[in-house]
Structure 1
Amino acid sequence: MPSSILTTTFPEGPQRNRALSVFSLFGALGYSSGLILGGLLTGIGWRWTFLMPVPLALLAVVVGALLIPRDHRTESGGQDPAGAITLTAGMLLAVYAVVTAPDLGWTDAATLATFGAAVVLLLAFVLIERRVRHPLVRFGILRQGTTIRANLSMVALMGAYLSFQFMMTLFLQDGRGWSPLRMAFALLPVGLIVAIGSPLASSTASGPRR
C-alpha cells in the first residue's frame, strides 16, 4: 500500500504529515481528472474505461520500481504466493457470484457452486496465513482493539461512500437521463474538496511554525 510506504519511509511528525497530504492531494486530483476522463471515454464507448488504465498502471509500476527505494531490511524469501492466490481467487469468485446471482438465481446450482468455491478458497487462505512464515495478513493484529475499530470505521466509511456514488450514478444516468460527462461534473466537487483540504490539514497537523 502506498500509505504504508509513506509511513515507513518518513519519520512521524511534520515530514510524514506533509508526505501524506501530498499523497492525498494527488489521489484527489487523480479522482477528479479520472471522473472527467471517464465521462468522456464512456461517451465514446464504455470499454475504453477498462482499456485506458492499463498503460497508465504499467507506467506507474515502471516509475515506482525506478524511484521507490528498496527496503533492504526485508528478509529473503518473505513472499506468500499461496496466500495471494487463494485470497485473490476467493474474493473474485465471491464478487462474481454476487454479480451473477440476480440473473441466475440465488439458489441456482452455478451460484451455489461459485459461492462454495469462494468459501473454500478463503478458508484455505486463513489456514495458509496461520502456517506460513511470512503471511500477508497477521491475524494477531485482530487482537488490538484500536486496529479493529480503525478498520471497521474505514469499511463503514468507504462502503457507504462507494455505495452512495454507485447508486447515485445509476439514478441520475438511468433515471434522470444524465450523460456520463454531466454525472462526472456532479461528483467533481468531492475530489476538489479533498485536493484543497489536504494541504490545509497538513499545516494544521504540523502546528504553527516557530
Structure 2
Amino acid sequence: MFVETMTLTFALAFLTMIILLPIGILAGYYFYYSKGWLKLVFEVLVWLPLVLPPTVLGFYLLLALSPQSPLGAFLLEHFNVKLVFSFGGILLGSVIFGLPFMIQPIKSGLFALSDNLQRASFTLGRGKLYTLFKVLLPNIKPSILIACVGTFIHAVGEFGVVMMIGGNIEGKTKVASIAIVDEVEMINYSLAHQYALTLFLTSFILLFVMLYINKRFLNDRA
C-alpha cells in the first residue's frame, strides 16, 4: 500500500510538472511581452489558485466535471471519459492549482533580463519564438528550475483539490497527503510517519539540489 500510494503521488507530481512546463513558458512570455487589461485579467486568473482555499477550487471542478453537468455529460457521452474520482481528474485539478507555481518564477526571470537581449535578437531579424527559446530561456535556467521544482513539490503535497475531485480511492486517487490523514485517524502513526517523512525528505532534497544548482549557475555567470 505504501509503495503504491507513493508511486501514484510522484506520478501525479511529475505529470503535473511536465504538462505545466510548456504552459508556464508560453504564459510567462505572454505576460512579459503583452500589455493592457486582458493581461491583467489573465494574471488574476493565474493567481486565483493561490488565494482561494483549495477546497473551493476543488468543489467547483467537482461540479463542472460531474456527469450531471453539461461538460461532464459531454465528455462521458462522446469520449467515454469520467474525470471525477479518477486519476485524470486529480491531474487536471493539480495542473490548474499548480499554474502560479510554474508561471510566476518564469515570468519573474524574464522580467529580470535586460531588454537589450530581445532588441538585439529582433534587430538580427529573429522572430519571437526564436528569441524566446534561443535567447531568453537559456538566460533564465535558474528560474525554470525553480518553477519545475516548486511545481513538483507543491503537487506532491496537495490535499484539498485532490480530495474534493478525486476522493480517496485506493490505487486511483489516494495520494500521500490523503493517506497521512487516513492513517492518523486510524491511529496508525507508524505508517503516517513513513508517508510524512518521505514527503519531507523528498522536498528537502529537491530544494537543496535546486539551490545548489542555482548557486553554481550564478557563480559561473559572475
TM norm. shorter chain > 0.5: no
State the TM-score, normalizing by the size of structure 2: 0.31
State the TM-score, normalizing by the size of structure 1: 0.32
Larger Rg: 1
Q: Identify the structure with bigger relative contact order (alpha carbons < 8 Å, sequence gap 6+).
A: 1
